[in-house]
């Protein structure tokens, strides 16, 4: 997918799971994550969200 679609997925996950990161930080971290993980995809977006939630100690049980 493209960057716009990737960031839309990131925003949707972050909102759904109430991660509480500001949008600029979220996008910066998510794009950096994608760069080091092989590209922009739904799988990479989900992996970033799992990592961010773990760092923030937020459950992904919604």
Tens digit of each residue's pLDDT (9 = 90 or more) over 30-43: 999 999 998 999 99
- Whether 52 and 16 have beta carbons less than 8 Å apart is answered as no
Give me the mean pLDDT over the 50-61 stretch. 94
Contacts of 59 (CB under 8 A, 6+ apart): 53
Q: With a threshold of 0.85, does the pTM exceed it?
A: yes
Nearest Cα neighbor of 58 from 2, 15, 19 is 19
């Amino acid at each position: 997918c493209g960057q716009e679609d990737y960031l839309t997925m990131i925003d949707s996950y972050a909102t759904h799971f109430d991660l509480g990161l500001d949008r600029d930080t979220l996008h910066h971290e998510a794009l950096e994550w994608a760069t080091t993980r092989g590209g922009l995809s739904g799988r990479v977006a989900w992996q970033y969200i799992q990592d961010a939630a773990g760092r923030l100690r937020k459950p992904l049980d919604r």
